[in-house]
Amino acid sequence: MPWPHIQLSTDPAAFPARPPADLSDPAVIAAHDQAAFDAVETMVDHWDRPGWTAQTRAYYWMLTFPDSPAPADLALRCQRQLAPFGLDPVPGDGLHVTLTRVGSVAALPQSRLDDVAGAAAPLLPAAFRLRAVPLAGSRGAVRLTVAPWGPVLALHAALSESMARLGLTPRKPTALFRPHVSLAYNNRPRSAAPVIEAVTALRSLSPVELHVQNVRLVELRREGRAYRWDVVKSLPLG
């Protein structure tokens, strides 16, 4: 089905800063993500984020893949090749697409979560399929590109609209959203060149298909150098 046209913006705070020329073609999206990562000179510590502690709890809308072994198998294959760099691998059951932050647990009482889910449900688009296209990265992680972007952007926009109706403001507007699945987080400043070289060798791996049928509201936390969550609400798409 056609997805609503969403105009993405160029912004140095996003990665890649400039959106791809085509939001539907997996080859164009993958090449664009790869070129952006290939231009990185220094990787930064992903975990160096002010405000996040072991006690931090926040609600997020996310895509997760608990019933799909293919992305976990692909992730493990890539992680084994990247092991010499000492990156922090994402567990197979921790692979996800972060959509948008809803709010901190301290600021949002449990009683409001029904309102959050109720506002989102009637706006959700239909289920869709994505391809996880190896392999690129960012300044703080090695990650899979996902494509096409259109359905994910439509979902992000729907969730943003539902939050606005409740007076909640996403930290990142849809115009700056860049869908991806992180495979391993960088945990110290380092030259990017050796990591890019290793990632380049993995780009011939076949993509895997992701069937996105639900969006989940989760309570997110950190455990050591990994993100973990509890599912609060799971809503079916379209």
Strand 42-43, strand 214-222: pairing: unpaired
Instruction: With a cut of 90, say whether residue 68 has pLDDT above it.
Output: no
pLDDT tens, residue by residue, 155-173: 999 999 999 999 998 889 9
CA 119 to chain CA mean position, Å: 22
- Average pLDDT, integer, range 70-92: 96
pLDDT reported for residue 165: 96
The gap between the terminal CA atoms of the chain, to the nearest Å, is: 12
For 190-232, the DSSP string reads EESHHHHHHHHHTTTSPPEEEEE-EEEEEEEEE-SSSEEEEEE
Extended strands (E) in 138-189: 141-147, 180-185
The helix or strand, by DSSP H or E, that contains position 111, with its residue range, turns out to be helix 110-120
Residue 14 has pLDDT above 60, yes or no: yes
Residue among 121, 185, 122, 129 nearest 152 (CA): 129
- In the predicted structure, residue 3 carries a pLDDT above the cut 60: no
Q: From CA 60, how far away is CA 174, in angstroms rounded?
A: 15
Tokens of 234: 């799971």
Residue 6 clears pLDDT 70, i.e. is over it: yes
What CA–CA distance (Å, rounded) separates 94 from 90?
6
Q: Tell me the per-residue pLDDT of 216-226, one tens digit each, with 9 for 90 and over.
A: 999 999 999 99
- Beta carbons within 8 Å of 45's beta carbon, 6+ residues apart: 140, 186, 187, 188, 189
Whether the Cβ atoms of residue 2 and residue 125 lie closer than 8 Å to each other: no
Phi-psi domain of 110 (left: phi exceeds 0; alpha: psi -120 through 50; beta: other)? alpha
Q: With 70 as the cut, is the pLDDT of residue 181 above it?
A: yes
Handedness of CA 72, 77, 80, 81 (dihedral sign): negative
Domains and CATH numbers, the chain: 28-42+53-236 (3.90.1140.10)
| Tens of pLDDT, residues 186-206 | 999 999 999 999 999 999 999
**With 70 as the cut, is the pLDDT of residue 4 above it?**
no
Residue 134: pLDDT band by 50, 70, 90 thresholds?
A: confident
